[in-house]
Structure 1
Amino acid sequence: MKQRAKMWKKEALVMLLIIAVLGNAIGIKEEAEAAEEEEWWREREEEREFRSKERFLLEDSKRVIETEAGEMRVIRSPASRILDRPMHIGFITMEPKSLFVPQYLDSSLILFVRRGEVKVGLIYKDELAERRMKGGDVYRIPAGSVFYMVNVGEGQRLQIICSIDKSESLSYGTFQSFFIGGGTYPVSVLAGFDQDTLATAFNVSYTELRRILSRQRQGPIVYVSDTESPGVWSKFLQVKDGDKGNKIANINEDGKEAEKNKPWSWRNLVSLIFGNENRDKTKRTRTGKSPDSYNLYDKTPDFSNAYGWSVALDEHEYSPLGHSGIGVYLVNLTAGSMMAPHINPTAAEYGIVLRGTGTIQIVYPNGTSAMDTEVTEGDVFWVPRYFPFCQIASRTGPFEFFGFTTSSRRNRPQFLAGANSIFHTLRSPAVATAFDITEDDLDRLLSAQYEVVILPSAEIAPPHKEEEKRRRREEGRRERERESEREREEEWTRRLEAF
């Protein structure tokens, strides 16, 4: 009996073990099925979002800086698996005589001056470089490089559009600023160090140190009294790093050398920085070794005709773009004209409407419409790599847009319409067969359009093409008659086969 009881206990334990294993396996399977179902629903949700007609308009805007002297607004990159490289778009506005205080970012910037004039100071290869830029200028600020900007336009608001490259960023948000100058707002990175460390490093008293690090309360963009005088950081950064503390400590209120034991003050620093001697009122356009800016408006258009022009800037013409791997373009269309339907085989692109209104049409790979939306000044759109698209100006006036591409290499768009379209290159019986038309029909289709790249609408075609328009209408009428005849023949054939 005891032996049977032992065997029964063993069998029971084995059964319990089997049940536990099976239960665990079933639990794992159920968890896997639940995760798979959740993934399925997530993909369906993404697909529904992807199919949204407004998907390619960027409207996720965030004001990251706002002061009396200016603001910075950022439009976030879409979270999409079809986007090869995420990029935020920034809009900086600065009032006359204002300063964007010295800082460095965890992201590279490519600046485009939309309106006004700006002086950018930048640490480049351990030296201060300054560039004075005007409307149309493009300039790159590398991630980690200390820079500042001053609105030097006389009574003019400064407007800058910039790309914010997230590929180098360590932050989850738009970007991360590390302010060099600052006080209570913004807070300088210096404030994070121990007081003894800073007092020793700058060779100043605790009192003066606290005074300096608590004065600034106006924010990252502040007003300055005279934008033409050499800036605070312009002069300070020109002093060799090892001499900064001693230099500051040894300047008296007259700007002259003082005894080493003479008390240091904020006025000493101001005297050192601004000085009383030889204020240069001339407009310096270039100092230091940093690459110069590049003006898009001064560049000869890559393409131009009676209906508009376009400019593209890549790393071959402006080498700093190669370091970021980002290209720049600018397009101006006359009223009613269009950029011919085309695809970008090497890059996605972001566009910002600078002037006028127009329509952006984008097509899905399956041949359905992804977006057919009117845009106006200030709107931002994006086009995935490989997706066919076109831009059409309204008939009320010119349509101008600027943008960035996710590649700094030469972008060779492939046009789907116009006298230089890919169908002209592919012209062969194979193309006619693909459309199930005759070669004569294909020839008529391809020979009808004489213009390339930027095309006119029928309403704005020049007078000398009125005859051409009448010929096209007549050919269209004949084609419709031929099509009707073919349909009648096919109907009779179906009836005979059915009989």
Structure 2
Amino acid sequence: MRNLVTFLLLVLVFSHALTMTMGYRDEDEDEDWKPEREWEREREREERGGEEEEDERSGRGEEKFLLQDAKRVVKTEAGDVRVITSVGGRIVDRPMHIGFVSMEPKSLFIPQYIDSNLILFVRRGEARVGCIYKDDLVEKTLKVGDVFRIPAGSVFYLVNTGEGQKLHIICSIDPSESLGLRAFQSFFIGGGSYPTSILAGFGHETLSNAFNVSSDEVEDILNRQQDGPIVYISDSHAPSMWSKFLQLKEQERLQHLKRMVEFQQEPQEQEQKTWSWRKLLNSVFGAEDRKDTRATRRSPDAYNIYKRRPDFKNNYGWSVALDGSDYKPLKHSGIGVYLVNLTAGSMMAPHVNPTATEYGVVLRGSGRIQIVYPNGSSALDAKVKEGDVFWVPRYFAFCQIASRTGSFEFFGFTTSARKNRPQFLVGASSLLRTLPNPELAASFGVSEDRIRNFTDAQSEAVILPTAAAAPPDKTDKYEKKIAAKFEKLPNMVRNFGNDMIMGFD
């Protein structure tokens, strides 16, 4: 009897624990986006036979697939940085944030390193990027269309070299190596009261001894800069420190950065090093040490995506995709890059990315993005314009449609540096053309002749003409309004108008 009571108590405790566990799991799932919940809601809506949830469901789709919450993380007179963070949940195979850097003419994004890999894409303007590559300073000139990688932990700086032109850069921010504190974490080499240099975390006595200078000199240097992470370097705006820094020769800038980085990374070894704070001050503010003439190591160049021959091109548009075999630095990041241009009224045929999630930024024009859930229901059908950001999960079917008003161009990143090989569902190169007709016909419940005629009707591939599917522009709306009013006129007046039109023809 005692054993039976003990057994029943154990069952009761186990059942209670299981109930609590299921309860906590449900609460956790409510915080993440689960597409299966969307499918369940869709089935419930269909069973009710109503469409009262259509607007609500569409709104949720736009919130998930259109990334609209751009947060400004840097704002100064000389420029700003905005970041759109990746959505959470199990549907994201690899999180990626999208950054937008805007810099005024003759401005500098001061030396720093961050805890994430960056892929830069120059949208407008020209830039000079300097970064540490295998212990040497490498500087590259970047122009419109250039793609360039900055590894996590690598010190770099950006200069807007365009004459009288703003610099606009779009970048992917890969947080796979990040500290997880936020979208990304900057560690500023230079700085003062704003931003604060990483050197400021060490005591003044420590810095004074390590660099062999007085505490007053340390305090003066570490409190001078207060204009923010992006500063002017023109004579009328710039702090003299950054102006003189950029006037130094390449090897001298290298030594300047290495001294600071080496100190903060290995402070216990600095007493054995030959660098001194006074030599640093002399190189930046005074006499220039020109003895170091080592040649910089060969580093990867930028890759201009606009100069690449399109992977696909027809009368309705073209597309380019870069992977690790085209540009080796992408292989190290595991990120791909693509660019698509659709002519007015054309469509990137419905397709699936089997190996990567896709993030896109509209560069020019407007159009529509349509994404489909695995159960065949619409996940997103939304109009997008220049500056909008969207993403498409791996395996989800989708298409892009250009409006009739002009070309539609979008650029983006994929979460794989391998060849993506998208699987097209419609067109001359589609999966439906490849599958055997008997099995395909049986799956749709029609005859082989009918399915063959259906799949062979489209003679174009990849990018298709589809003016009827494109959203009408404002001119079409005005024409419809005029036609409607014209039809309401008395017959005599309307006939007179038609006669006048025929006379002009």
Classify the TM-score, shorter chain: 0.7 to 0.9
Q: 1:237 to 1:124 in 2, by over 3 A?
A: same
Give deviations 1:215-267, integer Å, cap 9, x for gaps: 0101111111279987168533246755542772794xxxxxxxxxxxxxxxx
Choose which of 442, 455, 464 in structure 2 pairs with 1:446. Answer: 455
Q: Is the 8 A contact 1:65 1:73 kept in 2?
A: yes
Q: Distance in 1 between matches of 2:29 and 2:469?
A: 45
Q: Is the 8 A contact 1:131 1:287 kept in 2?
A: no
Is 1:270 matched up with 2:282?
Answer: no
Q: Which runs of 5+ in 2 are unaligned?
A: 39-56, 236-241, 260-272, 471-505
Is 1:320 matched up with 2:337?
Answer: no
Tell me which residue corresponds to 1:180: 189
Is 1:82 matched up with 2:91?
Answer: yes
Tell me which residue corresponds to 2:354: 345
Q: Distance in 2 between matches of 1:460 and 1:364?
A: 20
Tell me which residue corresponds to 2:265: none
Is 1:237 matched up with 2:254?
Answer: yes
Q: Distance in 2 between matches of 1:422 and 1:39?
A: 39
Per-residue deviation at 1:269? 3.1
Give deviations 1:35-70, integer Å, cap 9, x for gaps: 313423543663478562212111232111111111
Tell me which residue corresponds to 2:232: 223
Choose which of 262, 268, 279 in structure 2 pairs with 1:248. Answer: 279
Q: Distance in 2 between matches of 1:249 and 1:132?
A: 26
Give TM-score scaled by structure 1 length.
0.78
Tell me which residue corresponds to 2:420: 411
Q: 1:332 to 1:411 in 2, by over 3 A?
A: same
Amino acid at match of 1:380: V
Tell me which residue corresponds to 2:314: 305
Per-residue deviation at 1:459? 5.4
Choose which of 352, 355, 369 in structure 1 pairs with 2:364. Answer: 355
Is 1:53 matched up with 2:84?
Answer: no
Amino acid at match of 2:202: F
Is 1:116 matched up with 2:102?
Answer: no
Per-residue deviation at 1:200? 2.4
Tell me which residue corresponds to 2:268: none
SS of residue paired to 1:290: coil
**Identity among equivalent pairs (%):** 59
Give TM-score scaled by structure 2 length.
0.78
Q: Distance in 1 between matches of 2:281 and 2:355?
A: 57
Q: Distance in 1 between matches of 2:24 and 2:150?
A: 43
Q: Is the 8 A contact 2:344 2:405 kept in 1?
A: yes
Per-residue deviation at 1:377? 1.0
Q: Distance in 1 between matches of 2:435 and 2:296?
A: 52
Q: Pairwise CA RMSD of aligned residues? A: 2.8
Q: 1:222 to 1:357 in 2, by over 3 A?
A: same
The number of residues matched between the two structures is 421
SS of residue paired to 1:445: helix
Amino acid at match of 2:285: V
Q: Distance in 1 between matches of 2:436 and 2:299?
A: 49
Q: Is the 8 A contact 1:229 1:274 kept in 2?
A: no
Tell me which residue corresponds to 1:40: 26
Tell me which residue corresponds to 2:379: 370
Per-residue deviation at 1:426? 1.1
SS of residue paired to 1:93: strand
Tell me which residue corresponds to 1:332: 341
Choose which of 175, 192, 195 in structure 1 pairs with 2:201. Answer: 192
Q: Distance in 1 between matches of 2:362 and 2:413?
A: 12
Larger Rg: 1
Tell me which residue corresponds to 1:137: 146
Q: Is the 8 A contact 2:108 2:231 kept in 1?
A: yes
Aligned residue runs from structure 1 range 60-79, under 5 A: 60-79=69-88
Tell me which residue corresponds to 1:421: 430
Q: Distance in 2 between matches of 1:274 and 1:439?
A: 81
Amino acid at match of 2:61: K
Q: Which runs of 5+ in 1 are unaligned?
A: 1-10, 252-267, 276-285, 462-499
Q: Is the 8 A contact 2:72 2:80 kept in 1?
A: yes
Is the deviation greater in 93-102 or in 50-59? Answer: 50-59
